[in-house]
Amino acid sequence: MIRLETNPPVSNEALNELMAWASHKPSDFSHQLNMSLAYVCAYEDERLIGFVKLGWDGGIHAFLLDTTVHTEYQRRGIGRQLVRRALEVARERGLEWVHVDYQPHLETFYQSCGFRPTLAGLVNLKQVPQ
């Protein structure tokens, strides 16, 4: 049985282990978690198997970050559950808009969660001359 929890105590060790399958470098997540509007963790028993975080502007806009499900648990609807819970939290806290950036192969997933494509701009500050 998969259990979702909003803002539970979660260790750097557990988050780094969860994200190790991606091109992730071990990190200290404490600052990110403290600055987030909320985050949602998925557990099987006591094992962290999924995660998503809501960043926000302090007003009515939020954005999803780090939607992650352990490779052993993908394609079971857990990612969709995480995103839906994050959207519920945003709604409960009075936000009006939630944005997400994603790679093209994730478009169907995010559309199934209710997101619609929009035009947006992005700049990589490491690549733009000063």
CATH number at residue 23: 3.40.630.30
pTM: 0.90
Burial 12-31 (b: 16+ CB within 10 A, else e): eebbeebbeeeeeeeeebee
In a domain, 21, yes or no: yes
Q: Which domain holds residue 65?
A: 2-112
For residue 41, the 8-state DSSP code is E
Q: How many residues can be counted in the chain?
A: 130
Number of domains, the chain = 1
pLDDT in tens, 65-106: 999 999 999 999 999 999 999 999 999 999 999 999 998 999
Is 77 within the bounds of a domain? yes
Q: Is residue 129 part of a domain?
A: no
